[in-house]
Structure 1
Amino acid sequence: MLPSGRGTYTNPVYASQFPDPFVLQHQGVYYAFGTTGNSRTKDGRIFTLLSSKDLVHWQPLGGALAPPKGAEGAEFWAPEVVHHNGTFYMYYSRGGGAIGASVGHRLYVATSTKPEGPYQEVGLLDVPESKFTIDAHPFQDTDGKWYLFYARDFIDSDNGYYPGTGLAVDRLVNMTKLAGESRTVMRAKHAWTVFETNRTMPLYGNKTFAQWHTLEGPFMRKHNGKYYCFYSGANFLTPRYGVDYCVADSILGPYSDAGAENGARVLHAVAGHVRGPGHHSHVMGPDGKTEYLVYHAWDKNMKERQLCIDKLAWTPQGPRCQGPTYTPQPMPS
């Protein structure tokens, strides 16, 4: 969408379908990657790709990932891309269709020599203990070590946690191989993160769960020496869906979400204006100083999840998005 006035923008900044947005900044250009599910872009590829110089005016570049052999009909979700030693690595999940299907999701990695691709799938990042593993997020710590955060299912209710999708982390031995030392980051324990009650799951032998909860879309941000794992919680179709976080002194935890008992604190719905804001990424604005959340939110008819941006502020109470906004805002400087 064009700015609504001189020096302003109004969400959505891309008024078309663009779920699970991730933005990579490389050599002065922003590249946005979005979920395509089981659809293909006009050039026959997977994952919608856009470019921008200012986070507001976006140009379509086609698709990013070449369809892997043997994956016809599969769902492809939530791409994220990093640049390391001259290679661009894309992490994503693919699997057998809608959530709850009899075939789950697994994590994969693809590579390219250019940020816009095309990316070629090069391997599986398997998590053997999970049948449903999504939303891979690569993170390089300040000591140079790489980690992969992701969302996975937990079907037990040990220690008072709810069954459902939670967050985990593992060390990357290299950019295409996990160490196999998975650690739980956070599981659901608050009422607001419920996805569905009395949910029957074909993936787990048609077992019915009285409450199935969801934490998804992890994004790691190190700030003032602490590790903040942001995530989206609840059912993405409901007004409860939004972004919260947990925090730790070490990248492997333990993490605390104290203060998250009553709902999403970072980004949440605005009744009558914004529904389902979440599955975000963080990126610095053109000034290299101002931090933005890039997220999706539903259009008024709930037909499309569209691309939105808003500033993130680090307050004494913790990180808070200055949104979601739906009125004109100052252009990123």
Structure 2
Amino acid sequence: MKKSLLSFLLSCLSIALLAQNKQATYCNPIDIGYRYNFEQMNEGISYRSGADPVIVTHKNEYYLFVTISGGWWHSKDLVNWNYVVPDKWPMEDMCAPAAVSVRDTLYLFQSTFQQRPIFYSTEPEKGKLKFLNRWLPQLPKDIGPWDPALFHDPDTDKWYMYWGSSNVYPIFGAELDKSRNLTYKDKTDYKPLIFLDQYQHGWERFGPDHADMIKPFIEGAWMTKHNGKYYLQYAGPGTEYNVYGNGTYVGDNPLGPFTYAPYNPISYRPGGYMTGAGHGNTFQDVYGNYWNTGTPWLAVNWPMERRISMFPAGFDKEGQMYSNTRFGDWPHYLPTGKWDNRDALFTGWMLLSYKKPVTVSSQQDTIHVAKNLTDEGRQSFWVAKQNKAGEWASIDLGRESEVKALQVNYIDYKNNVFDSDSSVYTLFKIWGSKDGKKWELLRDLTKEPKRDRPCAYIELEKPYKGRFIKYEHVYVKAQNLAIGEIRVFGNGLGQAPVTPQKLVAKRQKDERNVDISWEKVPNVVGYNIRWGIEKDKLYQTYQVYADQPTSLQIRALNLGQKYYYAIEAFNENGVSALSGVVGE
């Protein structure tokens, strides 16, 4: 009896220790070792980047494929990603890859305008990769397939490919012949499926906040089948802006005809720190929950410099597809089962560091200064005088708060690294203090396995109640120690803000645009303007900060569609109740 009791207690202790050390949350952009670029090596431009992500669930585990990464990533929980190098890379590295899991096999294909094979693997966790076919027949000049997507219809056992990346050509589709190892049935047997229409769909206009009249780009095809309907997804209007998003057309057959979804875009994040949600894919996790991935825009060193985000997604009871980007780059819980509420994964951990005072050990010039570390600015950053151990940055949160997580986002400022070898890793320590004098060690990465963490997300084992947070530098392989943002999350000890009043939404003569205004609320960090095509379907969010005007022009609407709007305020302590819903 005593032995059994002791075994039981030891078992409970082991479970408790495992639970204590297991990370329960994630934060966008996702924390992986983004590979160093080599495309601009000859121009002397160095940066880590992730683009065109595809996450596939295969044998109850996850695989992440990213443009020109020399391999892929493997995870069992969507947060701990191990980099896998293929045992033999059969072709040149892959750009905007297509991947799909069917039964026990994972299939992989690259973007190309030439003849290229489809690969397969039954052991992708080991980097095993084989040829399924040698060459797909070459399509006519400029047709592709670039930005491809592979789709297997489980109900018919038929295979399809979708592709397109152009401001001239549409998204194309073709059935593949499984009897000939998934080559085209006929190299001329493909069809145009969908085009962009910037004159009808406001969100498909190019430029920052859709303000440029350059002809927009359609790209990033993906197909999802749900309840007998085919959702052909696409990205637009261009990678290098805050409004990069995903949309969908819906049909009864895999090659159409397709109808534009009036609730588009389905994934959209024009405001906040990491803006942009386009060109990813939709996948289901091991619990059956849907997710949508995308590439938020960084563009410090190069216009196409990007990171990767993933957002909870799904379909409502009427079949409307959505992706939840509300507080999209703040901590969210990892899934542990099937969720019913689209906001179920949001932790409620608030941003404690916005515009808070920062003291640093040194700074290299008068531009890349301490205050940049807390401004939530995508292209502003701090640069220390030297990249050496012992440099530090201390944030004064202004009052005692419960700190629960941090995110440290590095910048490759004037860097000279072009390859992600074993010398590329990230080490630092995080300290906390109640008075700015006596410090307590909260996390020490020097005690953990070395890995590169350009978007390092640190979830504390237990909440820390204090006023000051300090980053102490140890190592990063770079020319300079440059950090874009040190973001502190948790909860203040005060009251959440009151609900904003006097919300007004006025549709412009150009119905693709609407003017929003509201009454200022005291003691807030910012606001979420939420909108949608029905009062109970406010699936879109535009986040603005309190030091911005209490008015906003949203230029993402569709002609002929009625919209509804509401607003909420947030501060360090929480989120207000949502305002009443107003029409136009």
Change (3 A) 1:307 1:173: same
| 2:78 aligned partner | 55
2:142 aligned with 1:126: no
| 1:66 aligned partner | 89
- Return the offset for 1:24: 2.2
Change (3 A) 1:106 1:297: farther
- Return the offset for 1:110: 3.3
- Return the offset for 1:269: 2.2
Q: Is the 8 A contact 2:165 2:217 kept in 1?
A: no
* Corresponding letter in the other structure for 2:27: T
Q: CA offsets per residue over residues 104-157 of structure 1, 9 Å max, x none?
A: x3463332443233455821343226444311111111211111111155xxxx
Change (3 A) 1:187 1:229: same
Q: Is the 8 A contact 1:109 1:176 kept in 2?
A: no
Q: CA offsets per residue over residues 151-170 of structure 1, 9 Å max, x none?
A: 155xxxxxxxxx52421110
Aligned length: 281
2:156 aligned with 1:143: yes
Which 5+ residue runs of structure 2 have no aligned equivalent?
1-19, 35-48, 208-212, 337-584
Structure 1 counterpart of 2:320, from 314, 318, 321: 318
| 2:170 aligned partner | 166
Q: Is the 8 A contact 1:89 1:109 kept in 2?
A: no
**Secondary structure at 1:310 match in 2:** strand
Q: CA offsets per residue over residues 25-77 of structure 1, 9 Å max, x none?
A: 222321111101xxxx5xxxx4x311100112211113587153xx6xxx841
- Return the offset for 1:8: 1.8
**Secondary structure at 1:236 match in 2:** coil
Change (3 A) 1:137 1:256: same
Q: Is the 8 A contact 2:67 2:94 kept in 1?
A: yes
* Corresponding letter in the other structure for 2:183: K
Q: Is the 8 A contact 2:111 2:146 kept in 1?
A: yes
2:100 aligned with 1:82: yes
Which 5+ residue runs of structure 1 have no aligned equivalent?
95-104, 154-162, 197-209
| 2:64 aligned partner | 32
Spell out the pairing of 1:247-326 with structure 2 (5 A cutoff).
247-259=250-262, 264-287=264-287, 289-299=288-298, 301=300, 304-315=305-316, 316=318, 318-323=320-325, 325-326=328-329
RMSD of Structure 2 on Structure 1 (CA): 3.0
Q: Is the 8 A contact 1:169 1:182 kept in 2?
A: yes
Q: CA offsets per residue over residues 61-106 of structure 1, 9 Å max, x none?
A: 13587153xx6xxx84111223457654311113xxxxxxxxxx34
Structure number with the higher strand fraction is 1
**Partner Cα distance (1:283, 1:107) in 2:** 28
Q: Compare 82-91 and 26-35 and name the one that shifted more.
A: 82-91
2:27 aligned with 1:10: yes
Spell out the pairing of 1:91-106 with structure 2 (5 A cutoff).
91-94=109-112, 105-106=113-114
Q: Is the 8 A contact 2:165 2:220 kept in 1?
A: no
| 1:230 aligned partner | 233
- Return the offset for 1:227: 0.9
Q: CA offsets per residue over residues 189-218 of structure 1, 9 Å max, x none?
A: 12443558xxxxxxxxxxxxx853311111
Q: Is the 8 A contact 1:149 1:218 kept in 2?
A: yes
Change (3 A) 1:285 1:317: closer
**Partner Cα distance (1:64, 1:184) in 2:** 37
* Corresponding letter in the other structure for 1:323: T
| 2:244 aligned partner | 241
- Return the offset for 1:276: 2.5
- Return the offset for 1:307: 2.3
2:191 aligned with 1:190: no
| 2:362 aligned partner | none
Q: Is the 8 A contact 2:53 2:293 kept in 1?
A: yes
**Partner Cα distance (2:319, 2:119) in 1:** 39
Question: Which has the higher relative contact order, 1 or 2, with Cα contacts under 8 A spaced 6 or more apart?
Answer: 1
- Return the offset for 1:278: 1.7
Change (3 A) 1:240 1:12: closer
- Return the offset for 1:20: 0.9
Q: Is the 8 A contact 1:125 1:176 kept in 2?
A: no
Structure number with the higher helix fraction is 2
* Corresponding letter in the other structure for 1:133: P
**Partner Cα distance (1:64, 1:271) in 2:** 41
Normalised by the length of structure 1, the TM-score is 0.74
**Partner Cα distance (2:130, 2:265) in 1:** 35
**Secondary structure at 2:295 match in 1:** strand
- Return the offset for 1:258: 4.3
**Partner Cα distance (1:165, 1:258) in 2:** 20
**Partner Cα distance (2:162, 2:143) in 1:** 16
2:335 aligned with 1:329: no
Change (3 A) 1:238 1:302: farther
Q: Is the 8 A contact 1:107 1:136 kept in 2?
A: no
**Partner Cα distance (1:321, 1:246) in 2:** 15
**Partner Cα distance (2:159, 2:249) in 1:** 20
Change (3 A) 1:11 1:83: closer
Change (3 A) 1:126 1:290: same
| 2:220 aligned partner | 217
Rg (Cα) greater in structure: 2
